[in-house]
Amino acid sequence: MPNLPKPRLRRPAPPRADGRAPAPAEPRVEQVELGGLRWINIERPGSVDLAWLEEHFDFHPLAHEDVRSRNQRPKIDEYDDYLFIVLNFPVFDKQVGRLNAAELDVFVGPDFLITIPNVALQPVEYLFERCRACEEVRENLLSRGSGYLLYKIVDDSFDYCFPMLRKIGHKLDDVEGVIFEGRSEEVVRDLSNVKQEIINFRKIIRPQRSVLPDLERTKARYLSGDLEIYFDDIRDASERIWDMLENYKEVVEALEDTNESVLSHRVNDILRVLTGVSAILLPLTLVASIWGMNVRVPGEGGLGGFFAVLAGMFALFAAMLWYFRRRGWL
């Protein structure tokens, strides 16, 4: 197991071919500090940022490798003097118009906390900016230790999921409101989009349900006794999110079944009308065929016979239409 992360000496950059010293690329590392506790935030780290992290902190090589990887499952790795935590949270990607997973890597030690989101994670960014800009917020967050700061970051990230869930709920309400209005193509498309969002949301939240109990178990290393209850709130929020997703899953499946029933009912109505019209026209076609044969028929050669056959066909049509409507077939 590695020892407590400690600063390393920066290695000098090699000179360029022309003999001049190269202009070093500046890492995008932001930090705030109070009372010996540092919060370091490295958003969307590049190679320079990750090199800075390796130079300044003696973390385990596997932890650095996990930070470089973009496809890590949620987990907690417990070392002698720090924790390495990987969590995923949903973010809406405007370019593709769908929910994607944002990975948040966190190193937690007695006197430091490092957050490394691989994409812009709004709750983390907002909390860090408030901490940097407001001395009162900085005092409230950093004076209680790294464990409480970890709680606030994770709690705000989970709370950020609820507005997205409410938007999904509003979309389901809108679909339910128009499902009987005959706009079947729009309903099918909207149901497909909402179902895809629910599936993506569930894929992000489900793996973390097994990680949060481990977080509750390891939190005691960096929390005082009166702060332990805070992490129970995170687990409750996660369970509420999962319950809402389960409810939305059932709702969207019920709406799909209802939409299928509505479409089938409309198809049956159309087929019933077409069948009724065909049944009414069938005897009229038979009468016209009989009197149109190339043989002698009653009334042939006289104008009165034509009108008599026409009147009989009209009476037959009216009688069948009345009978069908009385039976409720039309």
DSSP state of 145: -
- In 3D space, the residue among 137, 83, 77, 146 whose CA is nearest the CA of residue 111 turns out to be 146
Which of 237, 157, 248 lies closest to 200 in space, CA to CA?
248
Q: Look at residue 241 and tell me whether its pLDDT is greater than 90.
A: yes
Judged against a pLDDT cut of 50, whether residue 10 lies above it is answered with no
Amino acid at 105: D
1, pLDDT greater than 60: no
Inform me whether the pLDDT recorded for 184 exceeds 90. no
H runs (alpha helix) in the chain:
47-56, 61-68, 122-133, 135-142, 146-159, 161-178, 184-205, 212-218, 229-291, 303-326
Over residues 218-227, mean pLDDT: 63
Looking at every residue in the chain, the average pLDDT score rounds to: 81
Strand partners, 113: 39, 108
Cα distance between residue 306 and residue 288, in whole Å: 11
Beta strand 112-117 pairing with 75-78 = unpaired
**Average pLDDT of the residues in 265-282:** 80
Helix (H, G, I), strand (E, B) or coil at 97: coil
Give the whole-number percent of the chain exceeding pLDDT 90.
19
- pLDDT of res. 301: 66
Gap between the Cα atoms of 160 and 89, Å rounded:
9
- Please give the pLDDT value at position 12: 44
Kindly tell me if the per-residue pLDDT of 231 is higher than 50.
Answer: yes
Instruction: Please state, in angstroms and rounded to a whole number, the distance separating the CA atoms of residues 311 and 328.
Output: 26
Residue with tokens 């600063």: 7
Phi first, then psi: what are they for 36, rounded to 5°?
A: 85, 0
Pairing of strands 30-34, 75-78: unpaired
The pair of three-digit structure tokens given for residue 193, joined into one six-digit string: 């989009």
Task: Give the pLDDT mean for 312-321.
Answer: 82
As a whole number of angstroms, the distance between CA 66 and CA 62 comes to 6
Let me know: does 219 contact 140? Beta carbons within 8 Å.
no
pLDDT value for 106: 92
What is this structure's pTM?
0.74
Q: How far is CA 95 from CA 100, 193, 204, in A?
A: 11, 15, 19
